[in-house]
Amino acid sequence: MNLIKPEKLKKGDTIGILATSGASEDNESLLRAQKFFEEHGYNVIFSDNALDEFHGMAGKDEKRLDELHKFFQKPEIKAIICMRGGYGAIRLIKKINYDLIRQNPKIFCGYSDITALCAMFLKNSNLITYHGPMAAGDFGREVPDEFTMNSFFKTLTSNQLTYKADTAKIYNTGSAEGILWGGNLATIVSLCGQNFIPDENFIFFAEDIKEQAYKIDKMMTQLINIDKFTKNIKGMVLGDFLDTDMPARLDELFEEIGKRLNIPVIGGLKITHATQKLTLPYGGYAKISDKCLHIEY
């Protein structure tokens, strides 16, 4: 795969805040996000559907799709930060013009429901994106989290990164390398039936929220039952599985998966729906070694 790396973020760039999924739950947070970026030296524009609502989504599919295409086409926009997650991205994936995305590469950042877009952009447009904070819930906080902001700006202005968990969990030892791929587990599994798994060796990363342990087991098993997944996965990096019912069962599950697939599995990184979160290059070349995740991109 000839991956496309977007240009680095620079002061004075225009950032587009794009509503691809859920409707805004707090319009004041969008104004705070705008103020945050402007105070840090960036220009900000919002997609026309930022305040729209249709069945819990930020407007009808056609409008959200049109705004996505417009933001990639506009040369003045250098980075796209998704407004929020929620639901709606998988309703667009069969309609996206992936050639347009490939021909107009730029920074694209989000997590949760946005995982579907990051995965499909990588698969169909060869574009490295970013699994990281979003406008409403992160940049739009009354006091944006310092750790999250530092990780965001460092990742979008660097070429090499090393992430080490404060309290690393080693479910299975070893080293591995491949492109970094994954995201929100439930959203990744929602892509089953599509051509979405990388053809190259990959390090799988995952997180989720409000999913019971048996459902996480079910989703992981669904992926492992796909031959291409088990063939190409070389390691696994786990973030938080917040508000689950049986965390001890998850520890057992991840140990079981590591041994079954004979891959290194580490946990404890700030890949999460929680306030403090890392920004990760989605599609960057990653290595697991010494309880750390190293990425070059």
Question: What is the number of alpha carbons within 13 Å of residue 87 lying toward its C-beta?
Answer: 5
* Annotation marks residue 273 as catalytic: yes
Where is 205: in which H helix or E strand?
Answer: strand 202-209
Residue 175 annotated in active site:
no
Selecting among 24, 29, 125, 273, the annotated active-site residue is 273
All residues at 6 or more sequence positions from 4 whose CB lies less than 8 Å from its CB, including other chains: 102, 105, 125, 126, 127, 128
Active site residue 40: no
DSSP state for residue 56 in the 8-state scheme: T
Separation CA 293–CA 165 (nearest Å): 9
One of 112, 125, 151, 190 is an active-site residue; which one? 112
User: Which element (helix H / strand E) includes 144?
Assistant: none
| Dihedral pair phi/psi, residue 215, rounded to 5° | -70, -35
Name the active-site residue from 21, 24, 67, 207: 207
Dist. CA 43–CA 35, nearest whole Å: 10
Ordered alpha helix ranges (H), the chain? 27-39, 61-73, 98-103, 115-125, 146-155, 185-189, 213-224, 227-232, 247-261
| Catalytic sites, residue numbers | 112, 207, 273
